[in-house]
Amino acid sequence: MAPVSVMNFLSPVAFWFGLALPAVVVFYLLKRKRVVRVVPSTLLWQKFLAETQASAPFQRLRHNGLLLLQLLLLLLAVLALARPYFSGMAGEAALQVVILDASASMQCVDESPNRFEKAKAGIRQLIDGLKTGQGPKNQQMLLMVAGASSEVRQSATSEKSALRRALDSARVTDSPTRLTDALRVAEERTRANTSSEVHLFSDGAIPNLDEFGSRDLKLIFHRVGQRSNNAGIVSLDVKSNPDDPSRRAIFASLANHSGALISTTMDLLFDDRLVESKPLTLDTNVTPIVFSASQPQDGVFRVRLNHADDLAADNEACVVSLLPKPVRILLVSRGNRFLEKALNAAASAVELSTAADLTGSGPAMDLTVLDDVTPSVWPAGNVLAIHVAQTNWFPGGMGRLEAPTIVDWRNTHPLLRFTTFENVQVAESFSIKTPTWGVSLVDSPQSPLIVAGEYGRQRIVWIGFETLNSTWPLRISFPIFIANAVDWLNPASARAEQFKVHAGDAFHLPILEPVTHARIRPPSGVEFTVPIDPKAREFVFGGTGKQGIYQVTLGTNGMAFAANLLDADESNTRPRDQIAFGRRGEIAASTLQRANLEYWRWFAIAGLGVMLSEWWWYHRRTA
């Protein structure tokens, strides 16, 4: 049902002046006071005898047009003083592009019933204040909803009923906030219209919008949210337990944004069966939590934070865990004991084979390590290549560097977790330009020294220098890096990464046999079918707006994947007073004024008309 505009009053105290209305009526009920005179005879006064003998001070109210005019004038004056208006907001722009933040933090219940519904109520008021009509005074509105992806819910229109229907159909998601696409659409729609505005309804939990810092985008930020009272799960992973390979280690991180210590508990479940519950005390920093559990078969580990706060979406997360299998590694080398020991210790179970060269025959391997050997046949699987020249990987050519100095490394990449390259000296390295398929992990001033990426469907880690001609094998970072590389290159780890996505992101799955449809069972439990092109080689599913476990069946193959929020920015539910907008600095939260919606002027004009009518009536009577 469309919202109904209700008249409100900015100064309701003015209604006390309404007490003057009955006072005016009382004046017309009062009789005139008679003066007593002594006369010799009352014969000539008989017709006035009844009136002179009356003792009551009031008389019967007679029909009097002047009384009605005076009452109407007083009523209009009281209404004008009370400043009536219809609830609603109005902008002056001919085109208003409205963006509604539908990310997870908008589910916070610090607003009634939550931030998302509060923002929708604000947009309804904006729709109510939309001016419709012919000519330049006609206003249009375009409505967009932005979560992990952006969607135009209603194209530009001045039809309020269509806008209200589109707004009512909008739903909040468990995804992080990503406004870039929405702002690009808004910029495109407003570029040719000088009389346009972009209205963003959000709590401000938005990554920096540097891309729009140099653009002339007229953005009005309507903030929703009252406080920050939340603690949530911001990361979750499962690995083999390094202390006991027969068990699994579940790593979680919790962030507390409430500003106070929180005492609570956290549960670990496997296939919905409670495994362990831990008491926790969370300070205002990120708190790591580690569980250790046995895993009898493939299944789902779920962690649950038992704390009542404003946002429930980040109090639970899950991960699909497959039983680990031995990693089959082929080392092609002329001999490197440091590397062999590091590879054997890289995983809980390693099947390491060595060879002096690589041929086209032999058992299939999970990954191949090339150590300063150019093979006769290049491997088709994932590769760790150390001091190996491959011109197909680096089409710009390869040179040589003498004693390159390591100046920087990307410690946020999974391959460089817990590693450092301080005090590592290199005698010689290949010199390349960073290829388009990879990223540089370790840099010298002249060239990348380590590059990682995906070339086609092949994962590659390339080290430009020979490790034995460096001090790296003598540093603790060397075996840690090799362990990280084995984990990153292991196809089983890559498959495990397929089984988890951020809520709102698309899920990708290679198609191994011709299929015409896929069956999806989302966390809600209502199964549905998605058609697939028989020639397609990959299945892409984007309907992951709600977190939980999704069951997918492609032909005879079935699998499950987990969608989680796991976003530190989204768990920080503090409403922002401004949002970063690149070089334009900060855009502060603001609200639209109730423009042209007050009606006191009309009541005042009507009152003036009544006064003129009274003046005319008086002169007509006395003329």
Q: What is the mean pLDDT of residues 133-160?
A: 87
What was the pLDDT predicted at 241?
78
What was the pLDDT predicted at 612?
80
Question: Whose structure tokens read 């084995």?
Answer: 486
Let me know whether 509 and 579 are in one domain: no
> Is residue 279 situated within a structural domain?
yes
**Nearest-CA neighbor of 167 among 382, 412, 2?**
2
Q: What are phi and psi of 50, to 5 degrees?
A: -60, -40
User: Binning pLDDT at 50, 70 and 90, where does residue 596 land?
Assistant: very low
Question: Between 172 and 6, where is the model more confident?
Answer: 172
Q: Which helix (H) or strand (E) holds 462?
A: strand 458-463
Let me know whether 341 and 430 are in one domain: yes
For the CA atoms of 399, 401, 402, 407, what is the dihedral angle to 10 degrees?
A: -170
Q: Report how far residue 313's alpha carbon sits from residue 3's, in angstroms, rounded to the nearest whole number.
A: 29
618-623 long-range contacts, CB within 8 A, separation 24+: 618/66
> Which of 286, 315, 344 is where one domain is finished?
315
Phi-psi region of 92 (alpha: psi -120 to 50; beta: other; left: phi over 0): alpha
Strand ranges inside 241-388, DSSP E? 247-256, 262-270, 273-282, 286-294, 299-305, 316-321, 327-333, 350-355, 367-371, 382-386
Q: What is the mean pLDDT of residues 584-610?
A: 63
- Partnered with residue 442 across adjacent β-strands are 409, 450
Let me know whether 383 and 490 are in one domain: yes
Let me know whether 192 and 59 are in one domain: no
Question: Between 495 and 252, where is the model more confident?
Answer: 252
Let me know whether 80 and 217 are in one domain: no
Q: b vs e for 192-209, b when ≥16 Cβ sit within 10 Å of the residue's Cβ?
A: eeeebbbbbbbbbbbeeb
Given a cut of 80, whether residue 360 has pLDDT beyond it is: no
What was the pLDDT predicted at 88?
46
The per-residue pLDDT of the chain, averaged, comes to 84
What was the pLDDT predicted at 435?
93
> Is residue 89 situated within a structural domain?
no
Given a cut of 80, whether residue 259 has pLDDT beyond it is: yes
User: Binning pLDDT at 50, 70 and 90, where does residue 42 land?
Assistant: low
> Is residue 593 situated within a structural domain?
no
Per-residue 3-state assignment (H helix, E strand, C coil) for 33-93: CCCCCCCCCCHHHHHHHHHHHCCCCECCCCCCHHHHHHHHHHHHHHHHHHCEEECCCCCCC
Q: Which amino acid is at 610?
A: V
Q: Report how far residue 257's alpha carbon sits from residue 285's, in angstroms, rounded to the nearest whole number.
A: 8
What residues contact 114, with CB distance under 8 A and at least 6 apart? 106, 107, 108, 172
Let me know whether 418 and 475 are in one domain: yes
Domain with 65 in it: 7-84+600-622
What was the pLDDT predicted at 584?
53
Contact 224, 202 (CB under 8 A): yes
What was the pLDDT predicted at 492?
82
pLDDT tens track for 431-460: 999 999 999 999 999 999 999 999 988 999
Let me know whether 150 and 169 are in one domain: yes
> Which of 287, 315, 343 is where one domain is finished?
315
Residues of the chain with pLDDT > 90, as a percent, come to 51
Q: What is the pTM of this model?
A: 0.69
What was the pLDDT predicted at 317?
97
Let me know whether 196 and 268 are in one domain: no
**Nearest-CA neighbor of 371 among 478, 466, 447, 290?**
466
> Which of 315, 338, 367 is where one domain is finished?
315
> Is residue 231 situated within a structural domain?
no
- Choose the weakest-confidence range: 32-36, 71-75, 287-291, 343-347: 32-36
Q: Which amino acid is at 378?
A: W
Longest dimension (CA), the chain: 153
Q: What is the mean pLDDT of residues 567-593?
A: 74
Let me know whether 110 and 257 are in one domain: no
Domains in the chain: how many in total? 5
Let me know whether 482 and 545 are in one domain: no
What was the pLDDT predicted at 520?
96
Q: What is the DSSP letter of 602?
A: H
Given a cut of 60, whether residue 86 has pLDDT beyond it is: no
What was the pLDDT predicted at 412?
85
> Is residue 232 situated within a structural domain?
no
> Is residue 348 situated within a structural domain?
yes
Task: Provide the CATH number for the domain around residue 394.
Answer: 3.40.50.880
Let me know whether 361 and 253 are in one domain: no
> Is residue 349 situated within a structural domain?
yes
> Is residue 2 situated within a structural domain?
no
Let me know whether 260 and 384 are in one domain: no
